Amino acid sequence: MYDVPVRWSDMDAYGHVNNARFLTLYEEARVAMFFVGARAHGLGSFEEGIVIARHEIDYLRPVDFGDPVRVEMWISALKTASFTVDYELYDDGVLASKARSVCVPYNLAEGHPRRLSAEEKDFLTPYWIRS
């Protein structure tokens, strides 16, 4: 569960948070979990490269500038060379958006996808909710 502050400049000419910017809000939550959170567990490998293979986002209600939004996040699929993050974004306690990201660990230096390591699986497993 991550509180992600909304910036005034996230709003577009319609006066609501721009739909593309939701991916940035989700990114902030994901980075908090996989970069900052994993690093606190001695695991820096996610930071060296996670490639996004696919995003799905549903927009249920407009979000305005104001209090931070709350993002709930869990792992909905954990495979050999990818994992899927599911998100729910709450604004003032009301579900405003849902999303799903397929993430692929990537060897940036060598330029190819790679398998999840045992340590990475150990880090992710507690967040895994089998559907």
Pick between residue 44 and residue 122 the one whose CB is nearest to a copy of itself: 44
**37 near a copy of itself, rule: CB under 8 A:** no
| Nearest-angstrom CA–CA distance, 8 and 2 | 19
**19 near a copy of itself, rule: CB under 8 A:** yes
Footprint of a copy of itself on residues 67-86 (CB under 8 A)?
none
How many residues bind a copy of itself, per CB under 8 A? 32
DSSP 8-state secondary structure symbol assigned to residue 15: S
**31 near a copy of itself, rule: CB under 8 A:** yes
- Specify the stretch interacting with a copy of itself by CB under 8 A; choose among 7-15, 71-79, 82-90, 122-130: 7-15
Q: How far is the CB of 51 from a copy of itself (least distance, A)?
A: 7
Q: Annotate 40-58 with b (16+ C-beta within 10 A) or e (fewer).
A: eeebebbeeebeeeeeebe
Assign 92 to helix, strand or coil.
coil
**94 near a copy of itself, rule: CB under 8 A:** no
**Of these, 39, 41, 44, 54, which contacts a copy of itself (CB under 8 A)?**
54
- Quote the tokens at residue 65: 């500038």
Q: Annotate 106-122 with b (16+ C-beta within 10 A) or e (fewer).
A: beeeeeeeeebeeebee
- Quote the tokens at residue 14: 């319609």
- List contacts with a copy of itself (CB under 8 A): 5, 7-9, 11-15, 18-21, 23-24, 27-28, 31, 35, 49, 51-59, 62, 65, 108
